[in-house]
Amino acid sequence: MNMQDLLKDKRYLFWLLQFAGWSGWAMSFYLGVLVWGKPPENYIFYLPFIATIGMLITLVLRALYRHMWEMELTRRIIAIVAGSYAAGLVWMAIRGTVFYNMFPEERKVTEKHGMEFLSYFDGAVSAFWVMLVWSALYFGIKNYMAAQEERERGLKALSMAHETKLKMLRYQLNPHFLFNTLNAISTLILDRNNELANVMVTRLSRFLRYTLDNDPMLKVSVAEEVEALRLYLDIEKVRFDERLQLQFQVEEDASEALMPSLLLQPLVENSIKYAIAQAINGGSITVTAWVDGDRLCLQVADDGPGLDLGGKGNGSGGVGLSNCRERLKEIYGERQSFELSTTDPHGLTITICIPLEFGSRAS
């Protein structure tokens, strides 16, 4: 167990703070005695014993405070003051008894000058303040730790909700794509084109294996995302053959940059649905990736009929585009952009810019 784990252990942390606090009190008290005069012989053994007695008394206070933890604030404050005062009196009584038995010469001096009661009174006030400070620190640290635990629970719940939403957004794409592909395979079988249907089933299994094996919470390199797109497009090429023209333009410095897995697949699917499937002669789709300063930019462009960006266009509110927007917002917040524009001379261009990241696959 490392130090960080130990510090999260409440019992270990309590005893660590107890030892450090009472050791600090003993050392500061001894230094104070040195400043005001020469301490009695063996005084250095007296202080650790008294500090230990004080520590044991605070264990009684701890048990009391645990019992009254749910009390209203006023009653709790009264209990803290009363408990600290009682603990201070007990501690001072033990200190006085031990001190005058260990150092009888000091007792003779105080009795001679009539200072025994005054000395005890001053010590009791001092002991009360020590116990009150201990109580304040106990409640302060305990409340702080409780607040931190509540905050961690809240963050954990938020993280779980965030993760669940991301997985839902990623996996809701598969049924939509699967329905279209299975419908195409069914059509091939009805047309007795069993060889092509078998090819399509094989390619579908490869793509589904990739999507199921790939954790939706992890990011992949642009090169891996392009490879996944090729798996997907292998299936669509069976459906559209020469009507579907593809181009990949990935800059070398962008190929190893990290991005959310299968982010571009729904965008390409959107282009196929609205630009390729509805055109008699088909069309082309171009996937581009480049680095712009500290941002990775990704673009999917088609030469279909495009959208009326000033109003409601075909597919502008489709599952693919809205899904992509939601995933980007969940992962990057305001550090991303998702823009629709018109391809020259016609078509739809989708441009995404996200923070530039490199390294191993990360969440």
The per-residue pLDDT string of the chain (363 residues; one tens digit each, 9 = 90 and over) reads 555 665 567 788 888 888 998 888 888 888 877 777 777 777 788 888 989 999 999 999 998 888 887 778 888 888 889 999 899 888 888 888 887 777 776 555 554 444 444 344 556 788 889 999 999 998 888 888 888 888 877 677 566 556 655 555 555 555 666 777 888 888 888 888 888 888 888 888 887 787 777 666 678 899 988 988 888 888 877 777 778 888 899 999 999 999 988 788 888 888 888 777 777 777 888 999 999 999 999 999 988 877 766 544 444 445 668 778 888 887 888 889 999 998 888 888 999 999 999 876 555
Q: What is the mean pLDDT of the chain?
A: 79
Q: Is the pTM of this model over 0.75?
A: no
pLDDT score recorded for residue 207: 79
Span 283-293, pLDDT tens digits: 888 999 999 99
Task: Give the Cβ contact number of residue 23 at 10 Å.
Answer: 14
**Torsions phi, psi for 299 (to 5 deg):** -140, 135
Q: Could you tell me the two tokens for 108?
A: 């003779």
Q: Whole-angstrom Cα distance, residue 84 to residue 81?
A: 5
| Domain spans in the chain, listed from the N-terminal domain onward | 3-164, 177-355
pLDDT score recorded for residue 313: 40
pLDDT score recorded for residue 154: 67
Q: Which fold has domain 177-355?
A: Heat Shock Protein 90 (3.30.565)
Are residues 291 and 356 in contact, defined by beta-carbon separation less than 8 angstroms?
A: yes
Closest residue by Cα to residue 220 from 258, 193, 253: 258
Residues sharing a CB contact under 8 Å with residue 80, sequence separation 6 or more, in sequence order: 65, 132, 135, 136, 139
Q: What are the residue ranges of helices labelled H in 214-253?
A: 222-240
Cα dihedral 306, 312, 315, 321 sign: positive
